[in-house]
Amino acid sequence: MNSVRVRELVIGEGMPKICVPIVGNRRAEILKMAKEIVNSSADMVEWRADWFESVFDLEKVVEVAVELREILRKLPLLFTFRTKAEGGEKEIEPAHYRELLLAVAATSDVDMIDVEAFFDDDIAQLICDLHEKGVVVVGSNHDFEGTPSKEEIIRRLCHMQDIGADILKMAVMPQKQSDVATLMDATKEMVSGYAQHPVVTMSMSEMGIISRLEGQLFGSAVTFGALKKTSAPGQINVEKLKKRLEKVNNLV
């Protein structure tokens, strides 16, 4: 498996990197959260732009991206519009989704862009176009209904790789404790047998917290923590997360 370098951060080597999402509705709130994250143990930042009230105004989105870069300095920035179908705040048409992601990629202020791998049939072309803008693409899939079989999880992650994603991300919802084990087992098999790029997986909710804490043991390269407001069920405080990751790292 090859690691991915984003600014000074190497994803796919050593301890899982901590990503802290920004989930503000207004520009001032977004920038305030960014300033707080800079002083935390975060390794990277995700701007969940589907929370932003003006996300369909491309000019305002670009303005905020520029301001975020000034605040975050060397911290890598991941831009995400999570669709309603995969747990996000808003719905979006495929043409607008493409236009938004390409406009943000063109700024050079965003380092990575999340692309939902199963959003429509033209995702492979969108990923290709984003690569031409020089951004790292995180292919993603979020299943809030349950946890697919190990084989299906691996199939979806392989599909992300096949369509050109640089980082492969999947989040699932456990209905029983064995679902968490299924996700971790699938990740381990994906990393050891199929992945050419970093893999990021998590089992959501309180039941799946172990997957956020011990990713290094089964191969997940990034984990998501929170300062105050969470962007997904089961996220824990970034500082507590950092301490737990360091303890696991000392055992490896």
List active site positions: 142, 169
Tokens of 157: 């992650």
Residue 16 contacts residue 43 (beta carbons within 8 Å):
no
Tokens of 85: 């179908």
Residue 2 contacts residue 194 (beta carbons within 8 Å):
no
Radius of gyration for the alpha carbons in the chain, expressed in angstroms and rounded? 17
Nearest to 16 by CA among 195, 181, 196, 215: 215
Tokens of 74: 């060397």
